[in-house]
Amino acid sequence: MQVQERTMPALTPELEAELRDTARNLRIEVINMLAPAGSGHPGGSLGMADIFACLYFGGFVRHDPKNPGWLERDRVVLSNGHICPILYAALGERGYFPKEWFKTLRQVGSHLQGHPAMHKTPGVELSTGSLGHGICGALGMALAERMSGRDTHVWALCGDGELQEGLPWEAFMAASHHKADNLTIIVDRNDAQIDGTTESVMSLEPFPDKLRAFGFETIVIDGHDYGQIFDAMNRAQQTKGKPTAIVANTIMGKGVKFMEADGYKWHGKTPSKEQAAQALKDLGA
C-alpha cells in the first residue's frame, strides 16, 4: 500500500455532525455488546466515544482495515484495556472485523475478550489489562518506529486512575528523556475509578503541572468538545522534541443520563435489560 501523506485534519460543521453521529452509534454498540455479556465496563467506554470517533473517523490515525499489519500504519494502544468495548466498536465500524462479533463479547473463545488481545482481534496493537503496561509498550513502539525511519505516530490512551501506579511515570520520564515526539498520551480524566473518585482514593492534582514537569507538551481539553479535540490532536502531531499529553476531561457514562448521574458506580457494572433499554432510548437508538 502506498504511504498516506500525514495531514492536519480540519473540523468542518459537516464533519462535526458526522462525528457526533458516529460517536452516538459507537455508544449504542457498547450498550448492545455489554448488556448481553453481563459483565464489562460501560462508564469509561461511553465517556471516550468522542475521542475514538475523532481518532478513527476524523482522519488522525493512518491505517488500513484491510491490512492491519501494514508497516506504515499509526499505532493506537489502549492501556486501560477494560474499556475495550469502545475500541471494539470503533474497529468493527471501520471494517477490521465483522460486526457480528459484537454479539460474542466476553464469551469463551470469542475474538472480543474482556481485555484487548492482539492475537485474537484485528486492529489491536497490544494485549493490555495490567494497568500501566500499555503506556510502556506504546513508548517502546514509538522509539522503535523512530529508529526504523518510519513516519509513525503512536496514540496511547489511559485512565486517570491508572496513573496512581508508578509504572506510567517511569515511562513518562523515559519518553521525555528520549524526546519521543511521535508519542501522544491521551488521558481519560473522568475522576472515577472502581472505588470512588480518583481525588478521594489517591489525588493526582495538580495533574497537568506534573505532566509538564515530566517534560510533556500538555494540553487540557473538554473530551466531548470536537473543536478542542481536533486542535489538541493536530498540535500533538506538530510538536517536536518532546512527547505530548492530552488531558481529556470526560464524563463517565456520557450520553446515558442515569450513568452520568452515578459516575464511578458505572465503572465496572453492566446495565440490566431494563437499564439497557433506557440507555438506548437516551442515545436515540
**φ, ψ of residue 159 in degrees (nearest 5):** -95, 160
Of 264 and 14, more confident: 14
Domains within the chain, CATH numbers bracketed: 13-282 (3.40.50.970)
What are the angstrom distances between the C-alpha of 174 and each of 35, 102, 123, 168? 40, 37, 26, 10
DSSP bridge partners of 156: 77, 185
pTM: 0.96
Average pLDDT of the segment spanning 80-98: 97
Q: What's the confidence (pLDDT) of residue 4?
A: 58
Mean pLDDT of the chain: 95
pLDDT computed for residue 42 by the predictor: 93
pLDDT tens profile 201-260: 999 999 999 999 999 999 999 999 999 999 999 999 999 999 999 999 999 999 999 999
What is the C-alpha separation between 4 and 187, in angstroms, rounded? 27
Confidence band of 6 (pLDDT split at 50, 70, 90): confident
14 φ/ψ sector (left φ>0, alpha ψ -120 to 50, else beta):
alpha
Structure confidence by residue, pLDDT tens digits, 133-175: 999 999 999 999 999 999 999 999 999 999 999 999 999 999 9
